[in-house]
Amino acid sequence: MTIEEAFGAVIRRLRKERFLSQEALSKISSLDRVFISQLERGKQQPTLITIFGLAAALSVSVSTMLTETELLLIFNKVKLPMHDFKAIPYEILWEQFGGNITSENPAISSPKTILIADDEMFLCQFLSELLTSQGYNVLIATDGQDAIDMYKENPGTVDLVLMDIMMQRKDGITAYKEISKFDPNARILLMSAYSSTSLGNMGNFNFIQKPMLPPDLFNNIRELLDSVTSKSLSVAEAQPVLPQ
């Protein structure tokens, strides 16, 4: 069973539990009905925005929905006699396999603080909920300048900056340079809906492309936090070539 198939099974169960047709869920979530059908069949990758929209439409927290997806994957992996997933209450799955999540995803040894910088508050709120569910402390900045100010106002407390490239008032590249100048060891993960190649020659950044799946985001963050020191990023001469 793939992550897509597990997520689709969870969405299908939640929808049926609430007596919603795919058409009704489509109207509530503003997602295309064909897209929802593909999602439930495990034929479509869920994106961050998709997950957030479905969670709101189904009146369930994002963390609960993702945990249930992981529980289903664990249930499938242990190769017990399979039953129809819709007949297995979430509480039963958690009681039987919740310990596996704790052992496979150990708690963070010490609280880590992530500063999220994005001018789309909808996305900021989602990322905040997602990262908080993983044990991180979260600060939110509304743009590049706000990120710079918050980083300087909290010296030594921000472990990683997760920052969008395209922002009003001050873009992520400029903010990256100023934060790196203030703290050369700053760990910064840039994100954008544009690919790294389409953004032009902007330097050797830690980068993740939107939309990203939660496991990809978690892995990128953990790898960066686990590094002894941030990569040596030469940005002094880099000039962003932002898409028009």
Per-residue pLDDT of 159-182, as tens digits, reads: 999 999 988 888 898 999 999 999
Span 137-164, pLDDT tens digits: 999 999 999 999 999 998 889 999 999 9
Strands of the 137-141 sheet, one edge to the other: 137-141, 113-117, 160-164, 188-192, 207-209
Share of the chain above pLDDT 90, in %: 27
Mean pLDDT of 217-242: 60
Asked if 103 contacts 152 with a C-beta cutoff of 8 angstroms, the reply is: no
Span 182-219, pLDDT tens digits: 999 999 999 887 766 555 555 567 888 877 777 788 88
Q: Phi and psi (nearest 5°) for 138?
A: -130, 135
- Written in H, E and C, the secondary structure of 52-108 is HHHHHHCCCCHHHHHHHHHHHHHHHHCCCCCCCHHHCCHHHHHHHHHHHHHHHCCCC
For the chain, list the domains and their CATH numbers: 3-104 (1.10.260.40), 113-226 (3.40.50.2300)
How many angstroms separate the CA atoms of 64 and 80, rounded?
A: 23
Residue 21 clears pLDDT 50, i.e. is over it: yes
Residue 211: cis peptide before it, omega within 30 degrees of 0 = yes
Asked if 203 contacts 190 with a C-beta cutoff of 8 angstroms, the reply is: no
Asked if 103 contacts 41 with a C-beta cutoff of 8 angstroms, the reply is: no
Span 104-114, pLDDT tens digits: 555 555 679 99
Task: Give me the residue label for tokens 């991180």.
Answer: 136
Per-residue model confidence (pLDDT) at position 177: 92
User: Cα 79 to chain center, whole Å?
Assistant: 29
Per-residue model confidence (pLDDT) at position 140: 95
pLDDT-derived band at 242 (thresholds 50, 70, 90) equals very low
